[in-house]
Chains A and B, each alone.
Chain A
Amino acid sequence: MNAIIFSAIMGVVMMFSGILLQKKSAVTTTAIVSLLLLLSMNLLDSYSVFSINVNTHGLLHFNKFGLFFNSILIAATLIFAVLCGSEIEKTGVNVADYYALIFFVLCGTSILTSFNGLLMLFLGIEIMSIPLYILTGAEKRNLKSNEASLKYFLMGAFSTGLLLMGIALIYGATGSFALKVSTTMAASAGVLSTSFLQIAGLILLFVSMCFKVSAAPFHFWTPDVYDGAPSVFTSFMATVVKAAGFFAFLNLFESNSAILGPSWKILLSFVIVATLLVGNITAVFQQSIKRMLAYSSISQAGFMLFALYSNNDMAKEGILLYAVAYCLATIGFFAILIKVKDYTFDGFNGLAKTQPVMAFTGVVFLMSLAGIPLTAGFFAKYYMLASVVKSGGSLWIVVVAVLFAAVSVYYYFKVIQSMYFKEGTPEVAAISPNFKTGLLLVAAAVILVGVLPSIVLNWFYF
């Protein structure tokens, strides 16, 4: 419970720091220190050294898996703040507020990694989403940012509506908000009308979660929102928030998918294939790298959905590894993208000549996203595919996924081609040596996890 409490407190602290601290960089430093504190609090909790316990009457349930996942999210936010802190300062005037909102998002993710009831799921999603609507519109004078914010808000409100409706139906069927109880109730009730309500409710939950993790055919908001939002916050949204959404999705359907019976896998495989198809094929045709990354995040979601599909131990390890790999690579690459003035592929031409460190680390991040061996992304995809093979049968969906992974190479490598094989003089913002060191460290982490994934997974096993 440490993370929930402290992230909320720190959010308030950050709000006041805007009044007390004059320099913007001081606010960033405060935020980084607070994030470190939050991370250590959460780690203390997961090692059961120091944890604040409040009786939630079974609404929240803390286990190592969830706490560790939350640590990954907080650590990703920390890396994000370190790499992109100076860019957040440039986004607008209310720097302290942005950090406050980020802490509130983390409060939401902390709830999402520990919810044990549908009510808490709803609260977590709302606490996470509302600050994001504001962050998306952080560039007040930019029309695209405003449009994105409104679009995100409307779509988010719509999916929340579906979520609430689903919860209501399930509550009507089982008389409980609890995650696991609902299954036993359904088994004992055995009345057709009751289970129909429950199935309808679950499908509504499924749809609304698909909205949140931008799985096709509920992905339409993603490209516009990711493209319109200030790039720094896109980076945050596409990684931390999305990963938290996936954790909730997995947690929600881990036991409940049994209620839907065999049709669950048919439904899910349809969504997976549609997500991979839409994400990959559309990304191929993008001119702007930022928009390409938005579509690529849809296709990555397709891969993460395999965790739900196989729903076994390996899938849990896989989603951990995927979160790590995907957060590191995406945050890293966005940090590079933000520094380049022109977001089109041509804007990256010749980057290797002028900024060798940025280009080289960019290659590492892109290769990780594409899933090339020796990078973290390979093992992330490997675990996902292996978990499906392990769960037995259905090899065709693995082959489909693999073919789409090959398609994804096309658009990721197009960036590499621009950076290394084409001539040009990209306009790049001033780069500090610290930023370069940061990028190199993140790239090193990507490779380290790619060679020894057990570094991440052994933490989970202890």
Chain B
Amino acid sequence: MIALLLILTPLVAGFCSFAMKQGSTAKNFSLLVSIVTLAIALLAIGSPAGGSFDTAWLTDLGSRFTLKMDGMGKMLCLLTAVSYPLIFAAVYKSDYKNPGSFFGLMLLTQAGLMGVFLAADALLFYFFWELALIPVYFLCSLWGGEKRIAVTFKFFVYTFIGSLLMLVGILYVYFHTADHSFAMQSFYKAQLSDHQQSYMFWLFFVAFAIKMPIFPLHTWQPDAYEQAPTATTMVLSGVMVKMGVFAVFRWLLPIFPNAASSNSMIIIILSVTGMLYASLIAIKQDDIKRMIAYSSIAHIGLMCAAMFTNNKAAFDGVMIQMFNHGVNVIGLWIIADLIEKQLGTRKLSDLGGLAQKAPALAILLVIMALANVALPLTNAFIGEFLMFSGLFQYNMFIAAIAGISIILAAVYTLNMVQKVIYGNLNAVTENATDISFNVKLVLVIIALVIIVFGVFPQPMIDLTKTSVEALFVKK
């Protein structure tokens, strides 16, 4: 029942928000709802029994409305629930036209995301997978930047093709389950020969790879991140890309274990290529948003590579990195948004000397940046370390090449820090002021998460331990 509430609360609240004419009402209401959702999520994580829900839905089709909350699902629900109050608080001072619709669509996205992370039925999963996408389409197209319509459409068509291919895959697996059911357990037991697996694997993988995104299917991402309204970009890069990573664990690896191991080399090579490629482009970026976007591709590439190493440590690493990357990247977007709103530019070359004008911002930016480089004692270090160790055991040579991306990450991130906060003040940054209370609060919370989980990551690993073990028991 609690699991159902996690979806229903943002869903119903989202529809209510559409009716709100007053901007401040919608804003406060959404913030309140997101905090309530967070409280429900924390409750759900605390109670081991509360995390499942099951009722008849499409009986003729063999599909049931089944929600289940395992360790991995808890982790990602927590990420979704945590990120929304942070995002709403960070954009509290921003003005949107039609705020009722804006916040309503944001909440509907949250409902979709929760559904994706909770669904234990393939058809239901597909429904939520799309439900999360459609509000984002409207959010980006209505409130985005100049080129928003074309860019968002590209993003939409990309992901829609992916999900349709996945639908074909779902149908095919469905007709090969013993009891003709969409239930997750039936899917896991589906009788598929190696030959069949190898085809179906790619139908699913393309959908997930577009979402993550994995080189060479990433081309929608930098444009979409740049053009989307920042609050939506935070959702996209913080939570939505994790849908792809999550889905690989939830569906791809358990259903097609043989195809996953036989194709692992191709996918790891693609992922590592993407990591280096994205890192190199990130170095050349002068636009702070595009830099973060490419850096995000590099990080996700590592997660994807680690997922196909079939290594327990690497899986643990991916699990905690899903959460940590989500929180960290939201922090970076908040700072990027702040700079753009205050100074009217996103160009690194125009900035400089902010440390003198905004010391609090400078300190927090350095913490976020260090987490982005995965320095020890930040939360990202644990995850990246585990993933690299898994990759190392899989293939030393590939791990060494992938390791270059750590150096590259340091290059572009520290370069960004240097250009933004050090150096001399110039005409653009002269009138900068320090950050407002709400943003400071959000950034301090994120900084705390970075440090606390950097020093003491055990609770996170414990939370997803059962999910990781389940992935190995299967084989």
The answer to whether A and B interact is yes
Could you tell me which A residues sit within 8 Å of B by CB distance? 367, 372-374, 382, 385-386, 389-390, 395, 398-399, 402-403, 405-406, 409-410, 413, 417, 420-422, 452-454, 457-458, 461
Is residue B363 within 8 Å, beta carbon to beta carbon, of the partner chain?
Answer: no
Question: Beyond A399-B165, A402-B164, A454-B60, is A372–B134 a contact (Cβ under 8 Å)?
Answer: yes
In the complex, chain B residues 139-183 whose Cβ is within 8 Å of any chain A Cβ: 141-142, 148-149, 153, 156-157, 160-161, 164-165, 167-168, 171-172, 174-175
What residues on A are CB-neighbors of B153 within 8 Å? Answer: 410, 413, 417
Known: A372-B134, A395-B172. 14 other contacts (CB 8 A): A373-B130, A373-B131, A374-B130, A382-B167, A385-B167, A386-B174, A389-B168, A398-B168, A399-B168, A409-B157, A410-B157, A420-B141, A452-B58, A454-B60
Question: Beyond A374-B130, A390-B175, is A406–B164 a contact (Cβ under 8 Å)?
Answer: yes
Is residue B458 within 8 Å, beta carbon to beta carbon, of the partner chain?
Answer: no
Most buried by B among A385, A395, A403, A417: A395
- Asked if B156 and A389 make an inter-chain contact with CB atoms under 8 angstroms apart, the answer reads no
Enumerate 26 A-B pairs (CB-CB under 8 Å) in ascending A order: A367-B134, A373-B126, A373-B127, A373-B130, A374-B130, A382-B171, A385-B167, A385-B168, A386-B171, A386-B175, A395-B172, A398-B168, A398-B171, A399-B168, A402-B167, A403-B164, A405-B164, A406-B157, A409-B157, A410-B153, A417-B141, A417-B149, A420-B138, A421-B141, A421-B142, A454-B59
In the complex, chain B residues 434-453 whose Cβ is within 8 Å of any chain A Cβ: none
Q: Which residue of B lies closest to A317 (CB)?
A: B60
| Main secondary structure on A side of the interface with B | helix
| Main secondary structure on B side of the interface with A | helix
What residues on A are CB-neighbors of B60 within 8 Å? Answer: 454, 457-458, 461
CA distance A112 to B130 in the complex (A): 38
What residues on B are CB-neighbors of A461 within 8 Å? Answer: 60
Q: Which residue of A lies closest to B165 (CB)?
A: A402
What residues on A are CB-neighbors of B165 within 8 Å? Answer: 399, 402
Q: Which residue of A lies closest to B126 (CB)?
A: A373
Question: Beyond A373-B131, A417-B149, A421-B142, is A409–B171 a contact (Cβ under 8 Å)?
Answer: no
- Asked if A402 and B58 make an inter-chain contact with CB atoms under 8 angstroms apart, the answer reads no
What residues on A are CB-neighbors of B126 within 8 Å? Answer: 373
- Asked if A409 and B160 make an inter-chain contact with CB atoms under 8 angstroms apart, the answer reads yes
Q: Which residue of A lies closest to B144 (CB)?
A: A421
CA distance A398 to B199 in the complex (A): 14
Q: Interface size of B by Cβ–Cβ distance < 8 Å?
A: 29
What residues on B are CB-neighbors of A405 within 8 Å? Answer: 164
- Indicate which residue in A390, A395, A409, A457 contacts B168 across the interface (CB closer than 8 Å): A395
Q: Nearest Cβ in chain B — how far from A401, in angstroms?
A: 9
What residues on A are CB-neighbors of B199 within 8 Å? Answer: 395
- Indicate which residue in B141, B156, B172, B203 contacts A409 across the interface (CB closer than 8 Å): B156
Q: Nearest Cβ in chain B — how far from A387, in angstroms?
A: 10
CA distance A403 to B165 in the complex (A): 8
Binary A-proximity of B113-135 (CB < 8 A = 1, otherwise 0): 00000000000001100110010
- Indicate which residue in A395, A413, A417, A453 contacts B58 across the interface (CB closer than 8 Å): A453
CA distance A399 to B149 in the complex (A): 27
Q: Which residue of B lies closest to A391 (CB)?
A: B175
Binary A-proximity of B49-74 (CB < 8 A = 1, otherwise 0): 00000000111100000000000000
CA distance A7 to B54 in the complex (A): 47
Q: Which residue of B lies closest to A453 (CB)?
A: B58
What residues on A are CB-neighbors of B131 within 8 Å? Answer: 373-374
Q: Which residue of A lies closest to B134 (CB)?
A: A372
CA distance A89 to B134 in the complex (A): 38
Q: Nearest Cβ in chain B — how far from A440, in angstroms?
A: 14
CA distance A410 to B164 in the complex (A): 14
- Asked if B157 and A385 make an inter-chain contact with CB atoms under 8 angstroms apart, the answer reads no
Q: Which residue of A lies closest to B128 (CB)?
A: A373
- Pick the 10 closest A-B CB pairs, nearest first: A402-B164, A373-B130, A406-B161, A389-B171, A373-B127, A421-B141, A421-B149, A386-B171, A398-B168, A406-B160
- Asked if A372 and B130 make an inter-chain contact with CB atoms under 8 angstroms apart, the answer reads yes
Q: Nearest Cβ in chain B — how far from A66, in angstroms?
A: 21
What residues on B are CB-neighbors of A399 within 8 Å? Answer: 165, 168, 203
Binary A-proximity of B9-21 (CB < 8 A = 1, otherwise 0): 0000000000000
